[in-house]
Amino acid sequence: MLKKAVFVIVLLGLLTIGVWYVSIPDRYVKETIERALVFGGLSPLKERRLSVSLEGFGKDPLFGFHVKRAVIRRGETEVLSIVDLRGRIDMLSLLRMTPGVKLRGDIAGGGLALRITMSGGRTHLSFELKGARVEKLEAVRVLKTLKGSGVLDVKGIFDVPVRANGLKGVSGEVLLSIKNMKFRDVFSGSIYLPLSLFSRMRASIRMDGGELGIEALSMEGKDIYSRLKGAFRGLVFKGALEVMPGPGFPEGMLSVIQRYRESPGYYRIPLRGSVARLM
């Protein structure tokens, strides 16, 4: 009886290996990963000419795989790269008819954990990035106006219809923080952000039905605080940055925003413009 059980286990193992290495083409697995990394190729992302390429792809035992480097590009420009990307298909999820995969990798020196599951005609994505260096992010290096350094932590969830019509039906939330922040001030058209005054940023960004909104965004420095208020319509933001220095903040450092002063200890900088202007 024991020999039969061992034989069955070995046979199932060989079948599993055969299915993974032989029956499921490498190309299919690669294309699935590539689609997942750009949210299934949503039409707005296609319009931004985003594409993914996997370098050094290979399969590992037990439905695992590894990628030396995954690169997301906008046209010919790299905007994000993930190195030492490793993942595994969750076999239990396949039995439950809710396919899922777990991924881990490195982005700009920070650790990435990503989980993707599909059920009920929707793709559910959750991710967390800890300790990434802002100045090493390709997306920041290619920006024309946003320059600086810091340590980035990001956590988020997204829910995407499999047959998405643009961003309609997409919902999600992203929480991010940047500490040890050292950024240059931003001057771009009607957008002015005195980022050099602050050393920490926290933000909560939500997407509901394809509409993007900033739930909260605040920045802190030594004896100074600010918060962003406003809303997006598409990629155009309209609102204001409120800056509130404390009594101990050097008056001379506020010279660049003196014209926005509305009362002692309160400055309001109106903001209106497209996020694309920062790119």
Looking at residue 180, its amino acid is N
DSSP state, residue 6: H
* Averaged pLDDT, 27-56: 64
Q: Is pLDDT above 70 for 3?
A: no
- Band (pLDDT 50/70/90 cuts) for residue 180 is very high
3-class DSSP state for residue 194? coil
* Averaged pLDDT, 159-181: 80
User: Using only C-alpha atoms, what is the Rg of the chain?
Assistant: 23
Looking at residue 189, its amino acid is G
Looking at the chain, how many residues does it have?
Answer: 279
Q: Is pLDDT above 90 for 221?
A: yes
3-class DSSP state for residue 14? helix
Between strands 110-119 and 100-107, the pairing is: antiparallel
CA nearest 110: which of 154, 79, 140?
Answer: 154
Q: What DSSP element (H or E) covers 249?
A: none
3-class DSSP state for residue 5? helix
- Band (pLDDT 50/70/90 cuts) for residue 216 is confident
* Averaged pLDDT, 10-17: 41
Specify whether the CB–CB gap between 145 and 187 falls below 8 A.
yes
CA nearest 149: which of 189, 109, 106?
Answer: 109
Residue 96: predicted pLDDT: 62
What gap in Å lies between CA 43 and CA 160, rounded to an integer?
A: 12
Residue 7: predicted pLDDT: 34
pTM score, whole prediction:
0.79
